[in-house]
Amino acid sequence: MVKIDMYLLWLRVAAILYASASIAVFPAVLYKVDRWRRWCVHLGGMAWFFHFVSVVEMLLQAHHWVPVGLREVQSILGFVVVTVFFLVWWLYDAISLGLFAFPVTFFMVFIPALGTERYSFPSQGVRVSWLIAHITALLLAYVALGFSLLASILYLFQERRLKTKPKARLLAAEGSSWAPLDWLPPLDTLERISEAMLEFGFPCMTVGLVIGSVLAQETSLGASYFLDPKIIAAFVSWVIYVLLLLVRRTAGLRGRRAAYLSGAVFAVMVVVWTANLFSHVHRFGAP
């Protein structure tokens, strides 16, 4: 019993460190901040060490070297992902891959770190509070992405208006003072609004998915809950969200192309949202 408690303790420490590395990797990659880069590598390295200790103790306790249960497979698979990442980082200095490696590993070890048995909330009130937090976080993510798309669309209108400004001046000289888009903010302001909304929505979506993973463990479906198309689509949309942030930052994507990309991601989010109508285990009004 002591060994089980210890391997869970090390796995929980690793999960916390993976979460911290997942936070640090975004400013390290998107903003190229050296201080955050160092924190990301150090936190990820410590997480890998504690994860390694946890895996060894887990297999020793189970008296086998091949993972059997689903949670054992999840933990070892997460360990392999972060090990491959550090190998690639050491060979090619590709820290940007950490945008996927650390969050994905965190999601893999988060549920096994809760314990060997299915997690249950201490009361119905606590479960409802977590459910409200889950829905609120995802709604904020959808709203933020919607505002980002709106700012991008207004950017296109403003850009078109500025290109046709000489013609508007000619009309004004002829006595016409009608300028329907004069109220639009400057292009730089719209660009900053779009980017800020994306950066606000991403942590909201991440928190919503993490809470949803905890809520899923209390259902009778257990791990098979994550095979539902709605859940798969939600995690796919999270990956696309990461790609959107990465492309906008690293490629310097702005203006028309950024608006089109934001629109594509928003369309994916709408598909995920409407998938509630077809999901058998995750739909509006479902218990």
- Report the pLDDT value the prediction gives residue 244, as an integer from 0 to 100: 79
Mean pLDDT, range 271-280, rounded to an integer: 63
CA distance 164 to 178: 14
Whether residue 148 contacts residue 262, with contact meaning beta carbons closer than 8 Å, is answered with yes
> Where is pLDDT greater, at 4 or 45?
45
- Report the pLDDT value the prediction gives residue 3, as an integer from 0 to 100: 43
Name the band, by pLDDT with cuts 50, 70 and 90, for residue 84. very high
> Where is pLDDT greater, at 173 or 194?
194
- Report the pLDDT value the prediction gives residue 2, as an integer from 0 to 100: 41
Kindly list the domain boundaries of the chain, sorted by start residue. 1-117, 122-287
Name the band, by pLDDT with cuts 50, 70 and 90, for residue 1. very low
Mean pLDDT, range 36-43, rounded to an integer: 95
- Report the pLDDT value the prediction gives residue 194, as an integer from 0 to 100: 82
CB proximity list for 239: less than 8 A, separation 6 or greater: 100
151 pLDDT above the threshold of 90: no
Q: What is the pLDDT of residues 200-247, one digit of tens each?
A: 888 888 888 888 877 776 665 555 555 666 677 777 778 888 887 887
- Report the pLDDT value the prediction gives residue 254, as an integer from 0 to 100: 67
Return the percentage of the chain with pLDDT > 70, whole number. 76
CB proximity list for 123: less than 8 A, separation 6 or greater: none
Q: Is the pTM of this model over 0.85?
A: no
CA-to-CA separations, 154 to 54, 196, 254, 255, 266, in angstroms, rounded: 51, 15, 13, 10, 16
Q: What is the pLDDT of residues 9-37, one digit of tens each?
A: 999 999 999 999 999 998 998 888 899 99
97 pLDDT above the threshold of 70: yes
